[in-house]
Amino acid sequence: YKSSKTKNILSIHLDRSGSSEGLLCRRKKVNISAKSTATNTVNSGANEAKLAPGQVGLDASRPDSMAADIAKIYNLLQKMSDEHDKKLDEIRATMASTEGKISELTRRLSNVESRLDFLEDTDKKLDDLENRSQRNNLRINGFPEGCEGRDPTAFLTKVLPEVLGVEFSDGLEIEWAHRSAAQPRPDGKPPRPFIVCFLRHTDKEKIRNAARDKGKVTWKDYHIMFFLDYSKLLCRQSWADVLSTAVCWLM
């Protein structure tokens, strides 16, 4: 009985001792693992400490390279700024020159306009003088080419009183007469009109009134027509007035 009890006590003691040894082994493994982790952490911190401040993972030469790049960029920007300033100066100079030319052109245009106004006034005065100088003139259409011979003044002095049936107490006096300044027209075309200047305004008005009273004036079966000898400008204005009046009537 004592021997069996002694065996049991020994077995329990062995079991306890084995458990203690296992626990010690496990504790040793945990301590070793903790030491390994701490060692790795210290090593990584040391490696990071060797790198450049604020540049994790870059070599020690990187700050110099960045400074060089910044200097290049600054120089490039400075060059571009200088070029832009130069172009702006050229543009300002061109604008100043253009403004000067525009001012000169404006001054010249003002002078031209004033001269144009003067010329228009002069043209109106000349037109008025032309019409006044032609107040004794008549345009006579319808006489065939060559019927006057070599002396149109003598021809009209004789023919006009006959075709109009009027008499002149002092005789009809024509200062000059000629065909309009144009080439002779071929047969079948309207003949050139006579331009006749009467010596007296009363004779011109007498012939004009007689032609209007008679209505249709003929000479050897040719229809003769009498018109006032106006200037070209006044004729254009008269035709414009006639056309505008006709358009108003048609509307």
Here the tokens at position 226 are 């009498």
Helix axes 201-214, 152-164, angle to 10 degrees: 50
**pLDDT tens sequence across 70-128:** 988 989 999 899 899 999 999 999 999 999 999 999 999 999 999 999 999 998 899 88
Do 194 and 179 contact (CB within 8 A), yes or no?
Answer: yes
Q: State the chain's mean pLDDT as an integer.
A: 77
DSSP characters over 140-185: EE-PPTTTTTT-HHHHHHHHHHHHHT---TT---EEEEEE-SSPPP
Global pTM reads: 0.52
Total Cβ atoms within 10 A of residue 75: 10
Q: How do beta strands 194-198 and 222-228 pair?
A: unpaired
Domain boundaries, the chain: 71-134, 137-246
Q: How far is it, in rounded angstroms, from Cα 28 to Cα 243?
A: 129
CA distances from 116 to 8, 113, 119, 127 (A): 146, 5, 5, 16
Do 131 and 234 contact (CB within 8 A), yes or no?
Answer: yes
Superfamily (CATH) of domain 137-246:
L1 transposable element, RRM domain (3.30.70.1820)
Q: Confidence class of residue 196 from pLDDT cuts 50, 70 and 90?
A: very high
Greater pLDDT, 33 or 95? 95
**pLDDT tens sequence across 47-80:** 444 444 444 444 445 777 888 889 889 899 998 9
Q: What is the pLDDT of residue 187?
A: 74
